[in-house]
């Protein structure tokens, strides 16, 4: 379906990521000849997306309409909201990009890693509750809303057709780490004035009640640190800035020096500290300086909460960290929950830690983690404040979007219409209508090694086949005397008899084809077919078969 | 370490599976020149065990000591207790194998699928509380204990050195589906007489409290079935015989005919019904006969609770079932929890079901599943009944075994010693001592296609590499004029320029080697190294590189 021509009585919301998935959040608003872009996040691959490092959104629509882009706003500094920008920004025009200080600080770090010059960007730092006019038709009123990182923003977007409230990622933490409460009055005020559309975070639409405050997690963690006799190791997401801050506070209070281990952990902490979002009295010590300190005087904060193979915690658990070896008496706290798909990796790490004999503490038996996203009561509270005419559940898989949609029907004034949109949908909004009117290209662009977009699903399918059955290469050398050479990887343990049989089957096909004076391609196909049937019959397997003919 | 010579003052417990893992349960008791074997289960591969169909225990120890095996007992009919038998039994002598009717019924079905003749086995059906003497030194007193399948047994083993109580898999269900309570008095009586060793199920050693009864699950399910307007589809483990029975009862009560879909579901139901372990008034209808029935008169029980790609539920969710198409108004109940590692697959199925628009119900928001294994209170109850001198936590990963070991310290009379054993340990037991004195070969034998044991970890590693980066085959043809042919799978999208560059790099290495009159192997190695360095530099990737030289 092609986009219909854009008229001046409608606002279009065009999600390029973050609908039907948790990850690579990005969407565009279009009114007439003006486009406003929101975020540019990345997603991590699922298990079946073999060998992919990360996934960024397809931005063909923005590239085709590059001249219309008037501005870009970023809601906060997490990877699923800014992680694609180093890949995307160079392919789009330099436009004003607005966000709060920490978000831009984290982005600058990222851009400099990619060698992108500040001069090629137009980063504009704004206060957390600033008003920004973008183009002729967009007025953005930012507001603070709590999440697991400081400087997290939602906004009210005023357009010629009406107001849009976008929560951004949020939880409603009533005792936030930095004491800065969500500016929910902004949503309520917009609701009083009339909200045409609410776009709200669906992540935890299946969790009843109200989420746990970071303050409660901090208290529980402090109790556990206090109870520990030896060294303490805590892993959490590096990007959980509030959590990391609380751990540092507790450590200082309990007389433990903090050691940070892991590149991403250090990066977030450095940027946050430089910009005044993280405080600590002691300078952080490095693990080299720990030597002279007693076990009870040190606490490590490290990467590896998802069981990533090269992370600090994994290396500790498998006993191959260059400098640190775990021992009985150590306490390890996993202040995190596994993201779906990572359960097995995390489970393996936990089992290894038990085998070493350290004390291992983790949810749910220990209350040492809280989600950064609000549960159903918080989602309902937002709906009741905004009282939107139309509703777009966002930042969720279908199960989350649909449960959020159903929840909206229980609001004091339910929306007149809710759409469960997909990435690429053109959601057209007028004061009296709200529907999907077309689609733009959208989807996943795979990043693998240095390549962006040079891996497609066909390549992934080949990887999948080889991962299950291996590969068998049959080279038929025709001259001077036809003979067959076999090489395999990941197929089967070396087996002379089977190899001889396969050679025989292949050679027969080749000789028959030669006698029949077939074309080389046909001989190759015959050999392929004969070997494939034979291997399947004898081994019950279907390795990826690669027939080569050398004439 | 080699096993020490076995003397007549000690009993050895030798786990071949089920220690440090959940799956492939199997162990041997040895006293003097007599061996008694318990179970012979299989395990399902973890995600990183690529392409493996299933895993069976290594039985070298039993093969080497085949003449000593006096008997074999089976605790119940689940795959992780009897699933390896068709692979193992043909490699061991024909000895008396004792179990209850349903377990042997399921085993017979399995053996016949593998073409193993009953005459080559010695299956001996016993009552659930029978006494069996095996060899000169083993007396087994079976007892009933509740689990998710009927005819589940634990036993008291009386040996010259003392009594061993083995719970088998268990939960203590106080309202079991068939009304048959656990014979806990047998454990208490053994405790009164003195238990030297308790071997108890560690699966849920991290779950506080007492497990939910199947009766409670049945009530909740019946409410949901009653509330459904259209067709109902329920998935659960086929082997959850009690669950399936309860669903059938509720369906009959609510006027719905039952359709079973999926081979394993039908197999378990047929065997259970034939042997009188499952009752239903209506004959089951097939999905072909459903045509004329109203949606509200039919209920499907189907496979797919773990999101297995070829299962009935997955085919329904992805819209490629040959006969049935889901539609709005249908209700799908997942009466199961994903096994660690299957979360992503189950999540995908759930999302698809939401997208179709059916009502999807699953735990934890719906109480439609209960574990077949007891929680901590039940484990503690068993410890308090048996009052063992020594304790061996079994049927668990290290995290479960170790938490079970710690729990044992809170018993009214804690064991004097607990060992967290590994597969292959020789655990030696005398009236006054309990320790690991050696090891026997133990581990995983991979079954893939028709092959048993012809896949090793080296092959899995190759599969892993190819799954991440693909494979690149470089054939250097030396005569008449040297030239290079390239084939790749799963590497990168076809890219003429890159291919030409690789050819050039490879050809240069070959020509240089030829000029230098190097040996063919060395030329091949040079080409390999040159291409590898080049590809890594240009693409950032390390595909599995296969260099071929045709002279």
Q: What tens digit of pLDDT does each residue of B141-197 get? A: 999 999 999 999 999 999 999 999 999 999 999 999 999 999 999 999 999 999 999
Which residue of A47, A463, A539 is the best one to mutate when testing the B interface, meaning the one whose CB has the most B CBs within 10 A?
A463
Q: How far apart are CA B392 and CA B404, in angstroms?
A: 9
Q: How far apart are CA A168 and CA A150, in angstroms?
A: 13
Contact A473 B355 (CB under 8 A): no
Contact A365 B208 (CB under 8 A): yes
pLDDT of B20 > 80? The answer is: yes
> CATH: 3.30.70.20, 3.90.110.10, 3.30.300.30, 3.60.15.10. Which one for B11-209+371-447?
3.60.15.10
Tell me if A468 sits within 8 A of A460, measured CB to CB: no
Q: How far apart are CA B512 and CA B404, in angstroms?
A: 65
Tell me if B92 sits within 8 A of B58, measured CB to CB: no
In sign, the C-alpha dihedral spanning B303, B306, B307, B309 is: negative
Q: Give catalytic status of residue A201 as yes or no.
A: yes
**Interface contact B507, partner A, CB < 8 A:** no
What would you report as the CA-atom Rg of chain A, rounded to the nearest whole angstrom?
A: 28
Q: What is the pLDDT of residues B286-297, one digit of tens each?
A: 777 787 789 999
Please list, in sequence order, all residues whose beta carbon lies within 8 angstroms of the beta carbon of residue B517, skipping any fewer than 6 positions away.
none
How would you class B119 by CB atoms within 10 Å of its CB: exposed for 0-12, middle for 13-18, buried for 19 or more? exposed
In three-state secondary structure terms, B336 is coil
CA angle B198, B201, B203 (to 5 degrees): 150
Both tokens of B454, joined, read 């012809």
- Element housing B57 (H / E): strand B54-57
Peptide bond into B397 cis (omega under 30): no
Which residues in chain B are classed under CATH 3.60.15.10?
Answer: 11-209+371-447
CATH fold, domain B470-549, is: Ubiquitin-like (UB roll) (3.10.20)
Q: Which of A421, A380, A372 is nearest to A398 (CA)?
A: A421
CATH fold, domain B214-361, is: Rossmann fold (3.40.50)
Place of tokens 């179709």: B356
Contact B354 A546 (CB under 8 A): no
pLDDT of residue A1: 40
Q: What is the Cβ-side half-sphere exposure of residue B393, based on CA atoms within 13 angstroms? A: 29
Both tokens of A469, joined, read 């059955």
- Contact list, A539 vs chain B (CB under 8 Å): 449-451
Of A475, A489, A541, the CB nearest to B471: A489
Q: Give catalytic status of residue A129 as yes or no.
A: no
Which residues in chain B are classed under CATH 3.10.20.580?
Answer: 470-549
Which residues in chain A are classed under CATH 3.40.50.10710?
Answer: 214-361
Both tokens of A308, joined, read 């990533």
Check the annotation: does A551 bind a ligand.
Answer: no
Check the annotation: does A8 bind a ligand.
Answer: no
Query: Which residues of chain B from 459 to 488 reach within 8 Å of chain A, CB to CB?
Result: 459-460, 462-471, 473, 475, 477, 485, 487
Which residue of A44, A364, A466 is the best one to mutate when testing the B interface, meaning the one whose CB has the most B CBs within 10 A?
A466
pLDDT of residue B480: 80
| DSSP letter for each residue of A393-412 | EESB-HHHHHHHHHHHTTSS
Q: How far apart are CA A228 and CA A331, in angstroms?
A: 6
Query: Which residues of chain A from 411 to 430 reach within 8 Å of chain B, CB to CB?
Result: none
Contact A466 B450 (CB under 8 A): no
Q: How far apart are CA B379 and CA B171, in angstroms?
A: 8
Q: Minimal Cα–Cα distance from A407 to chain B, Å?
A: 14
In sign, the C-alpha dihedral spanning A160, A161, A162, A165 is: negative
How would you class A319 by CB atoms within 10 Å of its CB: exposed for 0-12, middle for 13-18, buried for 19 or more? exposed
In three-state secondary structure terms, A283 is coil
Tell me if A349 sits within 8 A of A312, measured CB to CB: no
Residue B257 Rama label (left phi>0; alpha psi -120 to 50; beta): beta
pLDDT of residue A2: 41
Burial B317-327 (b: 16+ CB within 10 A, else e): beeebeebebe
**Interface contact A455, partner B, CB < 8 A:** yes
pLDDT of residue B1: 40
Q: How far apart are CA A465 and CA A482, in angstroms?
A: 30
| DSSP letter for each residue of B161-220 | TEEEEE--S----SS-TTS----HHHHHHHHHH--SEEEEE-TTTTS-S-PPPHHHHHHH
| Averaged pLDDT in 10-residue chunks for chain A of 551 residues | 58 98 97 97 89 94 97 97 97 97 97 95 97 98 97 98 98 95 98 98 98 96 97 96 95 93 91 91 74 90 93 96 94 93 92 97 96 98 98 98 98 98 98 97 90 86 90 90 91 88 95 92 94 93 91 80
Q: How far apart are CA B546 and CA A471, in angstroms?
A: 11
- Contact list, A450 vs chain B (CB under 8 Å): 538-541
Closest chain A CA to residue B46: A344
Contact B451 A540 (CB under 8 A): yes
pLDDT of residue B481: 86
Place of tokens 């009282």: A387
**Interface contact A350, partner B, CB < 8 A:** yes
Which stretches of A149-266 are assigned E, i.e. beta strand?
Answer: 153-159, 162-166, 197-201, 232-235, 257-261
- Contact list, B477 vs chain A (CB under 8 Å): 550
**Interface contact A209, partner B, CB < 8 A:** no
Contact A473 B350 (CB under 8 A): no
pLDDT of residue B49: 87
Lowest mean pLDDT among A151-155, B186-190, B276-280, B387-391: B276-280
Closest chain B CA to residue A356: B398
- Contact list, A354 vs chain B (CB under 8 Å): 398-399, 402
Which residue of A471, A542, A543 is the best one to mutate when testing the B interface, meaning the one whose CB has the most B CBs within 10 A?
A471
Burial B179-193 (b: 16+ CB within 10 A, else e): eeebbbebbeebbee
Both tokens of B301, joined, read 């029980």
Tell me if B66 sits within 8 A of B458, measured CB to CB: no
- Contact list, B448 vs chain A (CB under 8 Å): 540-541
Tell me if A502 sits within 8 A of A535, measured CB to CB: yes
**Interface contact B491, partner A, CB < 8 A:** yes
Check the annotation: does A169 bind a ligand.
Answer: yes
- Contact list, A467 vs chain B (CB under 8 Å): 50-51, 463-464, 466-467
Query: Which residues of chain B from 6 to 65 reach within 8 Å of chain A, CB to CB?
Result: 20, 46-48, 50-51
Closest chain A CA to residue B52: A468
Q: How far apart are CA A307 and CA A329, in angstroms?
A: 22
Q: How many CB atoms lie within 10 A of CB B207?
A: 20
Please list, in sequence order, all residues whose beta carbon lies within 8 angstroms of the beta carbon of residue B276, skipping any fewer than 6 positions away.
none
pLDDT tier for residue B2 given thresholds of 50, 70 and 90: very low
Q: What is the pLDDT of residues A381-439, one digit of tens each?
A: 999 999 999 999 999 999 999 999 999 999 999 999 999 999 999 999 999 999 999 99
Q: What distances in angstroms separate CA A7 from CA A206, A424, B264, B367, one per listed residue?
A: 38, 19, 58, 50
pLDDT of residue B3: 45
Question: Angle, to 10 degrees, between the axis of helix B263-274 and the axis of helix B101-113?
Answer: 130
| DSSP letter for each residue of A206-240 | TS-S-PPPHHHHHHHHHHHHHH--S-EEEE--TT-
Q: How far apart are CA A396 and CA A402, in angstroms?
A: 9
pLDDT of B4 > 60? The answer is: no
- Element housing B258 (H / E): strand B257-261
Q: Minimal Cα–Cα distance from A493 to chain B, Å?
A: 5
Q: Which of A264, A348, A302 is nearest to B47 (CA)?
A: A348
**Interface contact A549, partner B, CB < 8 A:** no
Please list, in sequence order, all residues whose beta carbon lies within 8 angstroms of the beta carbon of residue A24, skipping any fewer than 6 positions away.
A16, A17, A18, A41, A42, A43, A55, A56, A57, A80, A83, A84, A444
Q: Which of A39, A141, A151, A201 is catalytic?
A: A201
Please list, in sequence order, all residues whose beta carbon lies within 8 angstroms of the beta carbon of residue B109, skipping any fewer than 6 positions away.
B267, B271
Instruction: Count contacts between A and B (CB, < 8 Å).
Output: 178
- Contact list, B347 vs chain A (CB under 8 Å): 340, 397, 399
**Interface contact A292, partner B, CB < 8 A:** no
Predicted model pTM: 0.91
Contact A399 B449 (CB under 8 A): no
Please list, in sequence order, all residues whose beta carbon lies within 8 angstroms of the beta carbon of residue A521, skipping any fewer than 6 positions away.
none
pLDDT of residue A291: 78
């Amino acid at each position: 379906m092609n986009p219909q021509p854009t008229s001046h009585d409608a606002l279009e919301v065009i999600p390029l990521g973050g609908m039907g998935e948790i990850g690579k959040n990005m969407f565009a608003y279009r009114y007439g000849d003006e486009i406003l872009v929101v975020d540019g996040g990345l997603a991590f691959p699922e298990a079946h997306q073999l060998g992919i490092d990360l996934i960024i959104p397809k931005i063909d629509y923005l590239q085709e309409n590059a001249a219309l882009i008037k501005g870009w706003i970023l809601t906060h500094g997490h990877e699923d909201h800014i992680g694609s920008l180093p890949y995307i920004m160079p392919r789009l025009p330099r436009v004003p990009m607005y966000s709060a200080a920490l978000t831009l600080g984290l982005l600058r770090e990222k851009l400099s890693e990619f060698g992108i010059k500040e001069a090629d960007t137009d980063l504009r730092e704004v206060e957390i509750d600033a008003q920004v006019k973008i183009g002729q038709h967009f007025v953005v009123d930012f507001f603070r809303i709590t999440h697991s990182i400081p400087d997290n923003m939602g906004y009210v977007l005023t357009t010629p057709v009406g107001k849009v409230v976008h929560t951004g990622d949020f939880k409603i933490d009533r005792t936030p780490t930095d004491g800065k409460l969500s500016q929910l009055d902004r949503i309520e005020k917009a609701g009083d004035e009339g909200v045409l559309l609410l776009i709200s975070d669906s992540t935890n639409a299946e969790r009843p009640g109200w989420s746990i405050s970071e303050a409660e997690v901090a208290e529980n963690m402090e109790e556990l640190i206090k109870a520990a006799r030896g060294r303490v190791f805590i892993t959490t997401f590096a990007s959980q800035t509030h959590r990391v801050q609380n751990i540092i506070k507790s450590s200082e209070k309990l007389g433990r020096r903090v050691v940070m281990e892991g590149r991403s952990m250090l990066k977030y902490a450095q940027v946050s500290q430089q910009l005044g979002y993280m405080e600590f009295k002691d300078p952080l010590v490095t693990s080299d300086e720990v030597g002279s300190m007693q076990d009870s005087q040190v606490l490590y904060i490290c990467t590896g909460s998802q069981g990533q193979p090269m992370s600090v915690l994994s290396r500790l658990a498998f006993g191959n960290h260059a400098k640190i070896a775990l021992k009985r008496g150590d306490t390890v706290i996993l202040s995190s929950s596994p993201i779906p798909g990572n359960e097995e990796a995390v489970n393996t790490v936990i089992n290894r830690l038990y085998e070493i004999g350290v004390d291992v503490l983790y949810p749910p038996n220990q209350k040492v983690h809280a989600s950064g996203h609000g549960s159903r009561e918080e989602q309902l509270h937002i709906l009741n404040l905004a009282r939107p005419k139309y509703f777009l559940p966002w930042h969720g898989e279908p199960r989350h979007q649909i449960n959020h949609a159903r929840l909206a029907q229980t609001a004091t004034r339910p929306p007149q219409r809710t759409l469960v949109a997909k990435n690429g949908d053109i959601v057209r909004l007028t004061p009296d209508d709200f529907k999907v009117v077309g689609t733009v290209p959208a989807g996943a662009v795979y990043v693998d090694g240095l390549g962006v977009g040079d891996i497609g699903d066909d390549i992934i399918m080949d990887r999948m086949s080889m991962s299950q059955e291996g590969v068998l290469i049959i080279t038929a050398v025709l001259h001077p005397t036809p003979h067959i050479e076999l090489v395999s990887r990941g197929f089967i343990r070396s087996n002379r008899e089977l190899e001889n049989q396969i050679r025989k089957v292949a050679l027969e096909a080749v000789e028959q084809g030669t006698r029949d004076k077939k074309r080389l391609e046909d001989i190759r196909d015959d050999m392929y077919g004969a070997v494939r049937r034979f291997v399947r019959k004898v081994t019950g397997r279907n390795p990826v078969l690669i027939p080569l003919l050398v004439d």
